[in-house]
Structures are given as structure tokens and as C-alpha cells.
Amino acid sequence: MRAPGPNRVARFLWREAIRRPLPHGLLHWRYVLAHAPEPLSRQRSLWVASLPGLPRPAWAALEAWLWLRWQLWYGPKSVWRAVRASGRRVRDEEGLGLARQAWRVGTLSLGYCVPPSEIYRYRLYRPENRPRVAEFVYHHSLPSFHAGRNSAPDGGGASSQRLADKERQTAELASLGVPVVPIVAVVRRGASEGLEAYTDGAEPIFCKPRHGSRGQGAFAARREGDAIVMETLGGERLRGGEAAARWASLLHDDDMLVQPRLSVHPDLADLATEDDIVTVRYISERGLDESVGCYCATLEVPAGRVGETRRPTYVVLEVDALTGVVKPFPEGWLSGDQTKKCDRLYKRLGRRPVPGWERIRAGSHLAHTRVPGVHAIAWDWAVTPSGPLLLEGNDGWGPTMPQLLKGGLLATQH
């Protein structure tokens, strides 16, 4: 077996030993016990599986180094920043002083190697929630969690690569009869074509990287007079030369997919702002008998943009997997402002189901049956006037909203 070159080793050390602030999972002294309590033993399994290709002594030395840096530098600094960002809101809403918040957040963050921002997100600073700290999957252990549930012998690795390729995914699912958002054009990496070639009509377009995720590099574009205006999902608005430079930068990194800019189904148009489309995230999962069911489904409604950065905001509610009827958000997990927004949306929705729900459910299940070896996939659907259209499927989906709605992913096996 050929040894890795010095450049590869240097990049690995820079990424994993210098830039990385946290160990690759939760660390706790109870790991030394032969039979650690559940779900802490599941956290230990995630941590052990985090770097399977590294020799055990080197892996142990790396994790010890990352643990020490978290205890002495990154951890205390992150706690201070988290309390500064969220402490006053929690104090005003819950009557918990800043010093007590700092103590509770700090002891959990340092004791388990958990990002303090996620301690605030899951309200783990509350005494009644503190024992649940090991039940949640956190972002620094998310890759191990997803990889551990997939089946390599059944083709999980190849399926993940197919899901990452949005062009191939769209073509394969369309051939099965799954309603997908059409691809108008594929602009290959390194091409010199400008956006003008795809915005010569009155209708705006939507572009995204062929291998992108989480909306990175995605934007809407339209022509205003002689200039091209680009609006990214992150809130940036670029015009003319700036838009052209961003387009060239994106083409330097990957192929770009050009799709039509979608609109909102009339049954939901009164609930959303015009900044974005209404989407459904349907997370399908395989059961023990290999049948496909629903783990969690949510409706995501755009609620405008805030601040100078024009950061987009959304209201998210759970959807009943069988009926498509929206449920109220569980109490006690959101801030006061977020709770009010969710309650208003829920009241305005009433008992009307998500339009085309059976199409979403059936399409998600059919698509998942064609992706062997992958345990759970998040299918993102746009709810349009012509019915639901699949945007893409992703097997590396984020755990925050599902865990707020369903509880910690390590509390029970999904």
C-alpha cells in the first residue's frame, strides 16, 4: 500500500489538528467503564468510529490534543460567545441569570465536549433537560452517525455518491416517474458562458452546484434592463460585474445546474413572503424489514429577510406523515418570538393539508427504494402550482429540527 504524500499529510494535519476546534465526538470520563450507560455508550461508538482509517495510537493522540485545546481555549471562548449571543434572551424569557447560565453551559460543554450553541438550542441548561445531553446527535458527530447507519455491503457508499450528484439523481428519479424540478441546462465546470445566455427571457432562473448541499452556491437570477441580478440563498444581492464574478467563481469549482425559478402553490401563497418558495422536507428511513417509512416531515415557509445581511428566515412546522396535516410545534423548545411565529402560522393553516401530500409521500418512498444501503434520506420538495416537485435528496441531513420535534436521535434507534 502506497504511503500518503507529504502534501496530503500536511492538509490532514491542518484540517484535523489545527483548524478543528472539537474532538470528533462527545468525550466523557464514563467511557472508561466497560458498560457505559445508554445512550452514552452510543456516543462512545460514534466517537470510536469517527476516524476508522487512522492507526489507533495516532487517533488517540489526535483526540487527546483536541480535547486539551477544547478545555483550555476553544471551549471557554465558545461558552463566552454563546452566553453573549443568547444569554440575555434566556434571562428575559426564563429568569435565569447570566452567571448561572454560564456555569451550566460551561460545565456541560467542557464535561462532554458539546458546542455551547447547541446546548442553548436544545435547552440543555435547564436542570430537567441536562440528563438528556447524551441523547442528541451534534453537528461534530453527525458524519459518523449517518455513516454508521448506512450499509456498505448493500452499496451505501455508491448510493451516497449518486445522491451527491444532483444531475444524475434528477435523471434517474425522473425515469422512475418521480416528479422532479427539470434541469434546463448544465453548464460544465470551467465554461466561459455568462449568465446572460440563460436569462434572456422574462422568467427568472435558479442555479445550484451539481454537487452542492445546504444551499451553498445556490442563487436565483434575473435580468433587470441590461444587468444580471443574482440573489443568493444566504441573502446576498449581486448585480452586473459582481454577479458575473460570482458565477465565474462557482464554475471554477463545479458544474452548475440551471433550473426554472419556482413559485408557491396558491393554497399556501397567503402564508409565505415572496422571498423564497414553500418546501417540504420528508425524511424517509428503512425499517428492520427493509420497508420504507417516514421518520419526520416538516413544512418550511419563508418569513422574509432580516438585518443588513438580508438573512432569510423561515417558520417550520411538523407535518403528519399519513394525512399531510400540519401539527403545532412542541412547547418549550423555541424562543418566545419563534413560538409566536409558529403559533400564528399554525392557526392560519387550520386543518388544510399540504397540497399534493400523497404525491410527496409516495414519491419519497419510491425514490428511497432505489437507493440501496442508505438508512435515512431527506427529500426536499417544492410545493408549486403544478403540484409538488422534488428538488433533491440528501443523506447527510441536519439533525436540529428533527430532534426538536422527535427527541434525540440516540435516545431510541431510528
Residues 59 and 87 in one domain: yes
In a domain, 372, yes or no: yes
b/e map 108-143, b = 16+ CB within 10 Å: bbbebbbbbbbbbbbbbbeeebeebbbbbbbebbbe
In a domain, 87, yes or no: yes
pLDDT band for position 203 (50/70/90)?
Answer: confident
pLDDT band for position 52 (50/70/90)?
Answer: low
Residues 70 and 202 in one domain: no
Host domain of residue 138: 6-146
Q: Residue type at 233? A: L
pLDDT band for position 306 (50/70/90)?
Answer: confident
Residues 126 and 158 in one domain: no
Average pLDDT rounded to a whole number, residues 16-22: 92
Residues 170 and 82 in one domain: no
Domain boundary among 208, 239, 260: 260
pLDDT tens string 170-181:
999 999 999 999
Domain boundary among 205, 225, 260: 260
pLDDT tens string 68-87:
999 999 999 999 999 999 99
Average pLDDT rounded to a whole number, residues 396-402: 96
- If one counts every other C-beta atom within 10 angstroms of the C-beta of residue 104, the result is 17
In a domain, 297, yes or no: yes
**DSSP result, 351-403:** TPBPTTHHHHHHHHHHHHHTSTT-SEEEEEEEEETTEEEEEEEESS--SHHHH
Average pLDDT rounded to a whole number, residues 326-349: 94
Domain boundary among 260, 276, 308: 260
Residues 56 and 91 in one domain: yes
In a domain, 411, yes or no: no
- pLDDT score, position 172: 96
The count of domains in the chain is: 3
In a domain, 386, yes or no: yes
